[in-house]
Amino acid sequence: MTRSSQLQAAPHTAATEADNDVLRRLANGDREAVAELYDRHAARVLGLAFRIVRNSSDAEDVVQDVFSQAWRTAPTYQAARGTVVGWLLMMARTRAIDRLRSRQSRRDVEGAPDLEAIPSDAASLSDQVIASEQAAGVRAAMATLPSEQRTALDLAYFEGLTQTEIAERLRIPLGTVKTRIRSALATLRRSVRP
């Protein structure tokens, strides 16, 4: 069974159960569980990291950081606080945004280029893999958001901008930024729990 078909075939609840089992083994010092966790979620972590940093080298560094951190902090993971994939993706987003900001600072100083095309051997798995009904619902709902709400949410989520930075970037009042993000999240929330 290929990695992508593993992701595709497993129902979400069964996948969650399997993830929790891997995390328990990880927390007990079973290093082989890292490989299993990687096989289950590296594609998703890389996809999100690349979506944020837009650079394959930085995205791969993020993947390495995330799984190292997962290994290191697995004993403190609490299933009640969220799913394993959510935990990994949260770490991926945080680290990717850190890299984005660091690169932004360097570019401001050095004028280095930043964007890069998707690497040829890192083919998109695209819609073959649907992580959960929740993700499918959110993806569909995001397509229905008014463009101004979608832009504000993208800047906040994928670029890690603060509300003030978004207001400056879009040249709109801070209150408008808050309203747009809140409205966008409310719409997406209805798609998660109708």
Partner 1 sequence: MTVDRHDEFVDRLEAYALGQLSARERLEVESHLLVCATCADEVRAINDVLEGIAESVPPLQPRARLRQQVLAAVADVPQERARGLAPIDVPRRSAWRLLPLAAAAVLSLAIGAVAIRSEQSRRELADQLRRVESSNGELLDRLKRFSGQADLAISSLTAADTREIPTAGRDDAPAMRAFVSPTRGLLLVADRLPVPPAGRVYQVWIIEDGSTPVSAGMLGDEPQGRGMLIATPPRKNVGGGVTVAISDEPPGGSSQPSGTVLPVGSI
Positions touching partner 1 (CB under 8 A) are 3-4, 7, 31, 34-35, 38-39, 42-44, 46-48, 50-51, 59-60, 63-64, 67-68, 71, 75-76, 82-83, 85-86, 89-90, 92-94, 97, 118-119, 121-127, 129, 131-132, 134-139, 142, 153, 156-157, 160-163, 178, 181-182, 185, 188-189, 191-193
If one counts every other C-beta atom within 10 angstroms of the C-beta of residue 55, the result is 22
Minimum distance, C-beta of residue 136 to partner 1, in the bound complex (Å): 8
Structure tokens at 152: 């504000």
For partner 1, the closer of residues 103 and 191 by Cβ is 191
For partner 1, the closer of residues 110 and 193 by Cβ is 193
For partner 1, the closer of residues 90 and 105 by Cβ is 90
The DSSP line for 57-105 is: HHHHHHHHHHHHHHHHHGGG--GGG--HHHHHHHHHHHHHHHHHHHHHH
Minimum distance, C-beta of residue 95 to partner 1, in the bound complex (Å): 12
Alpha-carbon distances of 36 from 22, 23, 42, 71, rounded to whole Å = 7, 10, 10, 12
Minimum distance, C-beta of residue 110 to partner 1, in the bound complex (Å): 26
Minimum distance, C-beta of residue 144 to partner 1, in the bound complex (Å): 13
57 burial via Cβ count (<10 Å: 0-12, 13-18, 19+): exposed
Please compute Rg for the chain using Cα positions: 18
Minimum distance, C-beta of residue 152 to partner 1, in the bound complex (Å): 11
Residue among 102, 47, 98 at smallest CA distance from 69: 98
For partner 1, the closer of residues 90 and 107 by Cβ is 90
